[in-house]
Structures are given as structure tokens and as C-alpha cells.
Amino acid sequence: MQDTVKSIEKYSGKIAGQLAMFVKKYFGEMLTVSGLVIFFYNILDFSYRRVSTSVIAYYYKPSTLQLITIGIALLTVGIMIMRNKDKNYGK
């Protein structure tokens, strides 16, 4: 029983290390993809409600605008991380 527990601890530490290396290697790409998903999901999820007599009938709720901003920020940071990584590895 103790051998099984020790082997599980050994492999779980190995898997956690591999996962940490994967996240470290592809962090910029993950930020970019998550930023794109958040941005496009919220940009295409507009609501229709006429609140005035203006010609524009579509508007974005304040929470949707905040999520669009977060998506753009994640996208920008991810691109900056990828560019910095390319510069560092190119030398």
C-alpha cells in the first residue's frame, strides 16, 4: 500500500512538472487564444433594445464592454510575450 502511494506521489510530481513546463512554454499563446475567444464571444453577443430615438439600435451592456476590454488586453499581452520570446530565442 505504501509503495503504491509513493509511486502515485512520484508520478503526480512528474506530471505537475511537465504541466508547468508546458504552461511556461506556451503562456503567450494561451493568453492570445483566450483573449480572442473572450473578445469575439462578447463582440458577437450584442443585444437589441431601443433606448432612444437614435438610428443605432444595437448596444453593448457595460459588463460586455468590460469583457471585450479584457479580451483585447489578454490578446495584446499574449502577442507581446510571444514577440519577446522570439527576440530572446533568436539571439
Contact indicator for 72, 35 with CB cutoff of 8 Å:
yes
Give CA–CA dist 77/91, Å, rounded.
22
List the one residue out of 17, 22, 61 whose CA is nearest residue 42: 61
**Strand (E) or helix (H) holding 58:** strand 58-59
pLDDT tens digit sequence for 42-82: 888 766 655 555 555 567 778 888 999 999 999 999 999 99
Contact indicator for 76, 35 with CB cutoff of 8 Å:
yes
pLDDT band at residue 30 using 50, 70 and 90 as cut-offs: very high
pTM for this structure? Answer: 0.68
